[in-house]
Amino acid sequence: MKVAPHIHRFGDIRKMLVDSFQYVLLKKDDALKEAFLKASREKYGDPLVIDSQDEFHEFTDNFLYSYRFPDNLTVIDRFVSETPDLSEKEKATVLRWKEPVVGLFQVKSTLADGFVAENLINEETKGSALDKGHIGKGNR
């Protein structure tokens, strides 16, 4: 199945977001680093014992999407404001990633630029077209 080009672009943007968190924000913001280490120790113990890379990636994702700086901004807010090569449409879509949708989804139909899926938990239907902001894994 052919994947719409913007889906690949949002995969690249998500990688940029994670890289920015890991290699920029954690290095320059001591409070963020301490909060991440504290949350890591609460989840995995001290010393850290992490069972799988996938589990730690999920933990990091959850932290990245939920942490708020003292000014109430999220990591996503900071990333969008500090990444000048995002278009206005991309910025709007990335900002919607702060509202993740969790569920078990069944794809109902494919579109030229995405898909329509039904959340089997609450039977809500979501479209994944670029302008709706529902792109990629976990609505991110």
Portion of the chain with pLDDT greater than 90, in percent: 49
Sequence spans of domains, the chain: 1-100, 101-135
Higher confidence at residue 99 or residue 38?
A: 38
Check pLDDT > 90 for residue 86. yes
Q: How confident is the model at residue 139, as a pLDDT?
A: 38
The structure's pTM equals 0.70
Listed as own residue / partner, the contacts of 127-136 with beta carbons closer than 8 Å and 24 or more positions apart are: 130/4, 130/6, 130/89, 130/93, 131/89, 133/92, 133/93, 133/96, 133/97, 134/96, 134/101, 135/6, 135/7, 135/10, 135/93, 136/7, 136/10, 136/11, 136/14
Q: How confident is the model at residue 131, as a pLDDT?
A: 40
Q: How confident is the model at residue 134, as a pLDDT?
A: 40
Higher confidence at residue 118 or residue 5?
A: 118
